[in-house]
Amino acid sequence: MASIANIRAFQAVRGYSTAANVKIPLVLHGIDGRYATALYTAAAKKSALDVVDTDLKQVKTLVEKDEKLREYLENPTINKIEKKKGIQQVLSVGKYNELTKNFFDTLAENGRLYDTVKIINSYGSLMSAGRGEIQVTITSAKPLENKDVEKVKGYLQKSSFVTAKQTLIVANKVNPAILGGLVVEFGDKTIDLSVSSKVNKLNHLLTETI
């Protein structure tokens, strides 16, 4: 059964997402995914995808650089009306599209400003997918050399999961906890070749046999 929060979020963005038959390049889940998809739909209808994308990147930069602004947006004790006035003031400095301003008003009214960065990241994922880009994260226990990253990228590019029109955008994430090997994430797929995964499987097998 959907939670009340999920229902409210759906109702909040319904006016955006049902406005036109827009092809969504990527299916996103979660509250941030729904808001981002709704904004993407509205922006596509108004031919403002790139403009809104630029706006959101500017807002993200502000939030990441200004600790007080980030704390303000994430503070649950500040009422919605005050937060709405606050985000309106932030957006009044600079040239932001009306769609962007209205969307942040909606976030404020529905108490979702604390999800600002997540929503912006999700919108970025939609834009990237629309350009035919596939975000790939290669997690390793230690930083990989460029030649190793390119080798993994080459394997993926030749796989059936990637078409000739798609471009792989690869990032290397370091996590010592995987002990060794690699974890490759792209789209909604995960290839776990880590040592920790193999150890966990072995432990599970030994537990079952004892």
Which three-class secondary structure string do you get for 140-202? ECCCCCHHHHHHHHHHHHHCCCCCCCCEEEEEEEECHHHCCEEEEEECCEEEEEEHHHHHHHH
User: Sign of dihedral through CA atoms 176, 180, 186, 192?
Assistant: negative
What pLDDT, on the 0 to 100 scale, is given for residue 38? Answer: 95
Query: Both tokens of residue 162?
Result: 């990637």
* Amino acid at position 88, single letter: Q
Closest Cα to residue 186, out of 171, 165, 175, 176?
A: 171
What pLDDT, on the 0 to 100 scale, is given for residue 13? Answer: 55
Q: What is the mean pLDDT of each run of 10 residues along the chain (210 residues)?
A: 43 50 87 94 95 96 93 90 93 92 94 94 92 90 93 88 85 93 84 84 67
What pLDDT, on the 0 to 100 scale, is given for residue 2? Answer: 40
Query: Both tokens of residue 114?
Result: 């604390």
Contact (Cβ atoms closer than 8 angstroms) between residue 122 and residue 36? yes
Write down all domains in the chain, each with its CATH number in brackets. 4-129 (1.10.520.20), 132-209 (no CATH)
What pLDDT, on the 0 to 100 scale, is given for residue 20? Answer: 53
What pLDDT, on the 0 to 100 scale, is given for residue 5? Answer: 45
What pLDDT, on the 0 to 100 scale, is given for residue 110? Answer: 93
What pLDDT, on the 0 to 100 scale, is given for residue 65? Answer: 93
What pLDDT, on the 0 to 100 scale, is given for residue 6? Answer: 42
Instruction: For the full predicted model, state whether its pTM sits above 0.75.
Output: no
